[in-house]
Copies of this chain bind each other. A is one copy, B any other.
Amino acid sequence: MALSSSNLFTRLLLQNAAPACTSIVRHLSTTRHLLHQAQQQQSAGTAEVGRLNHVAIAVPDLAKAAERYRAVLGAKVSAPQPVPEHGVTVVFVELPNTKIELLHPLGPKSPIQKFLDRNPAGGIHHVCLEVADVTRSMAALTPNGVRVLDPQPRIGAHGNPVVFLHPKDNDGVLMELEEVGSKQSTRSRAAELVDGICNGGVV
B46 touches A201 (CB 8 A): no
Contacts known (A47-B72, A119-B172); A96 close to B189, Cβ less than 8 A: yes
B198 touches A71 (CB 8 A): no
Tell whether A14 is near chain B: CB-to-CB under 8 Å.
no
- What mask results when residues 141 to 172 of chain A are scored 1 for a CB within 8 Å of chain B, else 0? 10011100000000000000000000110111
A129 touches B95 (CB 8 A): yes
Tell whether A110 is near chain B: CB-to-CB under 8 Å.
no
B121 touches A124 (CB 8 A): no
Which chain B positions have C-beta within 8 A of A96? 50-51, 189
Write the chain B residue with the least CB distance to A44.
B74
New A-B contacts (5) at CB < 8 Å, excluding given A48-B203, A51-B95, A122-B171: A34-B198, A35-B202, A95-B129, A123-B172, A131-B203
